[in-house]
Amino acid sequence: MRSLLTLAYKLLVNDRAKFAALTVGLTFSVFLMVQMTSMFSGILQRASATVVNTGAALWVMDPAVTTVANSIPMPDYVLDAVRSMKGVNYAVPLYSGAALVKLNTGVYQSVTVIGLDDTSLFGRPRLLDGHIEDIYGDNAFIVVRDAEFGKLDRPTLGTAFEINDHRAVVVGIAAVPISGLFGIPTLYTTYRRAIEDIPSMRYTLSYILVQPKTGESIADIQAHVEALGYRALTADGFMHQITLFYIFQTGLGTNILIMTVISFIVGLSISGQTFYTFILENLDRFGALKAIGAKARDLVYVILFQALLTSLTGYGLGVGLCALLIALAKLRLPDYSATITYVNLSLALGMVLVIAAVSSYIGVRKVIRVQPFDIFRG
C-alpha cells in the first residue's frame, strides 16, 4: 500500500500544471469560504460586545428586545420585583443608550453610553488609567480605549467635552474584551448620571442584571420574570438571540450564505473539472497498473489519496492566506471585525471534504471502467 500511495503522489505532482490548477482553485475557494464566514463571526461577536463585557449571568428585558443595542425601557418597579424574587442574589439596573458628543474641535461624534449601578458599579470595565472611584465625581465619564478610541481625539485624564449639552470629564481610560459593532465609541458612567444627562422616555431602565444564588435558581427566576410580563435570558441565551436576529431578520446572514455557497460551487467546479482532465490524461497509466495486477480497490485508493491530498493542501493554503490577510487588515484597520473560529474552520473543512468526495467519484467512475487491452490496443 505504501508503494501504491507513493506512486499516486508522483503521478499527481509530476503533472505540475494540473496539480497547480487544482491547488490554486481549492485555495481560492477555501479562502472565500473562510473569509466570508469569518466576517460574519466577527460581526456577531461584536454585536454581543455589551453582553460579554458586562459579564452578567442573567439579563431581564422587555420581551420585544431583539439585540442589546435596541433596548426598550422598563418601569422601575420591575427592578424591585426582581430583587424580591427567591433565588436572586442581587439585581442591579443598567442603562444603555446613544448620545452625541461635541469634541473640543467642534466635531460631533455619536457614542454609546453605559450607565452602571451607582452602588455596585457591576459590569465596570478594566481600567488602564485612572481610579474607578473617580466615576462618582462631577460629570465623570470613563472612555473605552478600543478601535474607536481615536474618534474621540484620543482623550486623556482630565479631557473635557460636551455630551448632550452637558459637561463631561474623562476620569478613566478602560479596556474591554470586545469592541462594539457599529464603529461607535463607548463611554461608562453611573446609572444616575446617564439618565439625567441623556434624554430618554418616561421609563429609563434598559436592563436588569441579575446574579442568581445558584445555577438551579435560573429557571425559577425566568418563570417569575415571565409572569411579570418580561423576559429573563442567560448571557448565552441573549447572545444566541442576537445571532438569530442578524441571521434571519437582516440581510447579512443571507448575503454571507450566498457568498459561501458561491465559493463552494467555484471550488467544486474547478477541482472537479481539473481532476477529471487529470484522470483522462493518465488513463494509460491506470490501465497499465491494472495490467500488472492492480485491483480496482487499489486504483480507488489511488484516486482517493490524490483527491484528499490536493484538497487538504488547498485547505491549508486557503486558511493561511485568509489568516494573513485578516491580520494585515487589522493592522491597517483596527475596527475590522473578521474573526476566524473553530466553527469557520470546521465548516470550510467539511465543504473541502465534499469537494474531494465529488472529485474522487468522478475519477473513480472513469478509472474503474478502463480495461488494459483498450490501453495497449491504442
Tens digit of each residue's pLDDT (9 = 90 or more) over 261-318: 887 887 777 777 777 777 777 777 777 777 777 677 777 787 888 888 888 888 899 9
Read off the amino acid at residue 144: V
Give per-residue burial for 175-191: e unless 16+ CB within 10 Å, then b: ebebbbbeeebbbbbbb
What tens digit of pLDDT does each residue of 196-233 get? Answer: 888 777 888 999 999 999 888 999 999 999 999 999 99
What Rg do the C-alpha atoms of the chain give, in angstroms? 29
- Which pLDDT belongs to residue 378? 52
198 and 285 together in one domain: no
In a domain, 87, yes or no: yes
The per-residue pLDDT of the chain, averaged, comes to: 85
Task: Note whether 82 and 212 are same-domain residues.
Answer: yes
Tell me whether residue 56 is in a domain: no
| Domain of 284, in residue numbers | 2-46+251-377
**Are residues 179 and 264 both part of a single domain?**
no
| CA pair distance 243, 115, nearest whole angstrom | 24
CA distances 40 to 68, 94, 254, Å, are 18, 28, 11
- What's the mean pLDDT in 83-99? 92
Q: What are phi and psi of 153, to 5 degrees?
A: 60, 30
Element (H, E) at 209: strand 207-212
Q: Mention every residue, 6+ apart, whose C-beta is less than 8 A from residue 7.
A: 289, 302
Q: Does 25 reside within a domain? A: yes
The Cα 265–Cα 250 span in angstroms is 24
Nearest to 65 by CA among 205, 171, 188, 172: 205
Q: Are residues 36 and 173 in the same domain?
A: no
Q: Do residues 339 and 287 share a domain?
A: yes
Domain assignment of residue 281, yes or no: yes
